[in-house]
């Protein structure tokens, strides 16, 4: 691993130490964004061509990386774009251009449902800030690739490829629909809109329990669309509420309402928020346990990535509801951000392999990425902080 310049770190630390401390969340956010900029400059210098950061194992001082085809590849450039948007950084601008030039190959990838994560968190943000024909072409090709995984019989976009007549759909897939809405508006082709709406409607019907918690996976029969099994791969048990899965649902249906203005989706998002915020196992500091039904609560691991996603979603959802609910969502999001930017969860300068957040939980049943930084945790925390700072979606 490459290390920070000792002098550079000392100077930055001195500047932070000399600054007058403030207890306001606004000040914490500004300080955290500065820390993120320094951390990501280190992370940037730790990568070679074609590499994307996944996580960091402190006990081994090991940065784990991926290629562009990994589902998380869009979060690193997306985080850089957000940070550069907040405070222009020539080094980030150069790195963003380099990484996007590598990532663009995935626009034709039809083997994954994660093109929203991969291409919209990256090229979508790039297009939002600097519209260009190149970005638009890449996003349209990405939407076409994603749409190719839709099946009319099932009414969903296939998540994981499988054998025989299995057709696997995960709650995470709600996060990829935003790319389709963009494509529909850009191309004036309602096909993409219709696919997104159909997928969301099928997911409401089959993924959610009566209390508005969700299963992680629904396995359909691809021949007739009937349900073969409902289960939870990354959570504690099939009938448990895996925290990040609940976060994906909250965020996804908030986006659905934004793009359609259909009250069905607003009511779904509000009901998911109700489940999350009022669950008896939601800690007072609002960073959830990795599963709301984990057997070892209160000693169970927290998942900072789930908290970051929830905070960002709530800051958008609060704009679509009445004043009382808006205040509730805003208060919860503020608590989440405040906790995540505390010493418990926020990395100190020069640590954590350059990542921002500690204590993310990837996949406990597979003992994969447990209690480590996660690139999507950073992305959604940065997004949440910018949403709060600029009062935007």
Residue range 325-335: mean pLDDT, rounded: 98
Containing 95, the helix (H) or strand (E) segment is helix 90-103
pTM here?
A: 0.94
Residue range 365-385: mean pLDDT, rounded: 98
| pLDDT value of position 393 | 83
| pLDDT value of position 196 | 99
Q: Is the pLDDT of residue 334 over 70?
A: yes
Please, are residues 12 and 38 in contact by the beta-carbon 8 Å criterion?
yes
Residue range 358-379: mean pLDDT, rounded: 98
| pLDDT value of position 333 | 98
Q: Which of 387, 386, 383, 385 is nearest to 120 (CA)?
A: 383
Residues 66-120: tens digit of each pLDDT: 999 999 999 999 999 999 999 999 999 999 999 999 999 999 999 999 999 999 9
Q: Which of 53, 193, 174, 198 is nearest to 117 (CA)?
A: 174
| pLDDT value of position 253 | 99
Of the pLDDT bands very low, low, confident and very high (cuts 50, 70, 90), residue 324 is very high
Residue position matching structure tokens 């508006």: 185
Of the pLDDT bands very low, low, confident and very high (cuts 50, 70, 90), residue 15 is very low
Question: Which residues, 6 or more positions from 164, have their beta carbon under 8 angstroms from its beta carbon?
Answer: none
Beta strands in 131-188 (DSSP E): 150-151, 156-157, 166-170
Q: Count of alpha carbons within 13 Å of 48, Cβ hemisphere only? A: 6
Distances (CA, A) of 245 to 103, 192, 208, 289: 26, 24, 11, 12
Residue range 124-151: mean pLDDT, rounded: 98
Residue-averaged pLDDT of the chain: 94
DSSP-derived secondary structure for 191-222: HHHHHHHHHHHHHHHHHB-TTS-B-SEEEEET
Q: Is the pLDDT of residue 8 over 50?
A: no
- The alpha carbon of 88 is separated from its chain's Cα centroid by a whole number of angstroms, namely 23
Question: Which residues, 6 or more positions from 37, have their beta carbon under 8 angstroms from its beta carbon?
Answer: 83, 87, 89, 92
Pair of tokens at residue 191: 């096909």
Please, are residues 83 and 40 in contact by the beta-carbon 8 Å criterion?
yes
Distances (CA, A) of 20 to 17, 23, 28, 224, 341: 8, 10, 12, 64, 17
Residue range 347-374: mean pLDDT, rounded: 98
Q: Which of 215, 381, 172 is nearest to 287 (CA)?
A: 381
Q: How many CB atoms lie within 10 A of CB 58?
A: 14
Catalytic residues: 114, 172
| pLDDT value of position 23 | 58
> Percent helix, strand, coil in the chain (nearest 5)?
55, 10, 30
From CA 245, how far away is CA 15, in angstroms rounded?
39
Residue range 32-59: mean pLDDT, rounded: 97
From CA 319, how far away is CA 330, in angstroms rounded?
9
| pLDDT value of position 344 | 98
DSSP-derived secondary structure for 17-60: HHSPP--SHHHHHHHHHHHHHHHHHHHHHT--TT-EEEEEEGGG
Residues 201-211: tens digit of each pLDDT: 999 999 999 99
Of the pLDDT bands very low, low, confident and very high (cuts 50, 70, 90), residue 358 is very high
Q: How many CB atoms lie within 10 A of CB 357?
A: 29
| pLDDT value of position 116 | 97
Domains within the chain, CATH numbers bracketed: 6-390 (1.50.10.10)
Length of the chain in residues, anyone?
393
Q: Is the pLDDT of residue 257 over 60?
A: yes
Residue range 163-188: mean pLDDT, rounded: 97
Pair of tokens at residue 159: 């998540």
Q: Is the pLDDT of residue 19 over 60?
A: no
- The alpha carbon of 28 is separated from its chain's Cα centroid by a whole number of angstroms, namely 21
Q: Is the pLDDT of residue 12 over 90?
A: no
Pair of tokens at residue 370: 């447990």
Residue range 39-45: mean pLDDT, rounded: 97
């Amino acid at each position: 691993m490459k290390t920070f310049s000792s002098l550079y770190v000392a100077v930055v630390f001195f500047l932070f130490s000399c600054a007058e401390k403030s207890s306001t969340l606004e000040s914490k956010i500004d300080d955290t964004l500065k820390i993120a900029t320094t951390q990501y400059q280190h992370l940037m210098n730790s990568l070679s061509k074609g590499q994307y950061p996944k996580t960091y194992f402190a006990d081994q001082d090991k940065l784990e990386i991926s290629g562009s085809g990994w589902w998380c590849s869009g979060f690193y450039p997306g985080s850089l774009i957000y940070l550069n948007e907040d405070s222009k950084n020539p080094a980030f601008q150069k790195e963003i251009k380099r990484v996007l030039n590598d990532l663009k190959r995935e626009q034709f990838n039809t083997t994954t449902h994660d093109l929203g994560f991969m291409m919209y968190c990256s090229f979508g943000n790039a297009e939002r800030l600097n519209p260009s024909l190149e970005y638009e072409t890449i996003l349209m090709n990405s939407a076409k690739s994603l749409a190719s995984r839709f099946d009319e019989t099932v009414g969903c976009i296939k998540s994981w490829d499988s054998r025989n007549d299995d057709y696997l759909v995960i709650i995470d897939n709600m996060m990829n629909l935003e790319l389709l809405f963009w494509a529909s508006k850009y191309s004036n082709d309602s096909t993409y809109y219709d696919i997104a709406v159909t997928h969301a409607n099928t997911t409401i019907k089959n993924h959610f329990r009566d209390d508005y918690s969700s299963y992680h996976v629904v396995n359909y029969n691809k021949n007739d669309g009937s349900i073969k099994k409902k289960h939870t791969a990354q959570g504690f048990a099939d009938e448990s509420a895996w925290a990040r899965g609940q976060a994906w649902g909250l965020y996804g249906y908030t986006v659905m309402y934004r793009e359609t203005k259909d009250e069905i989706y607003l009511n779904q998002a509000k009901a998911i928020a109700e489940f999350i915020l009022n669950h008896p196992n939601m800690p007072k500091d609002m960073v959830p346990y990795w599963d709301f039904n984990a057997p070892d609560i209160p000693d169970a691991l927290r998942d900072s990535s789930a908290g970051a996603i929830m905070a960002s979603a709530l800051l958008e959802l609060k704009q679509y509801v009445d004043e009382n609910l808006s205040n509730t969502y805003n208060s919860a999001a503020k608590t989440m951000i405040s906790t995540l930017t505390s010493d418990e969860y926020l990395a100190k300068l020069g640590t954590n392999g350059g990542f921002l957040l500690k204590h993310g939980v990837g996949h406990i049943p597979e003992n994969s990425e447990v209690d480590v930084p996660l690139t999507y945790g950073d992305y959604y925390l940065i997004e949440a902080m910018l949403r709060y700072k600029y009062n935007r979606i």
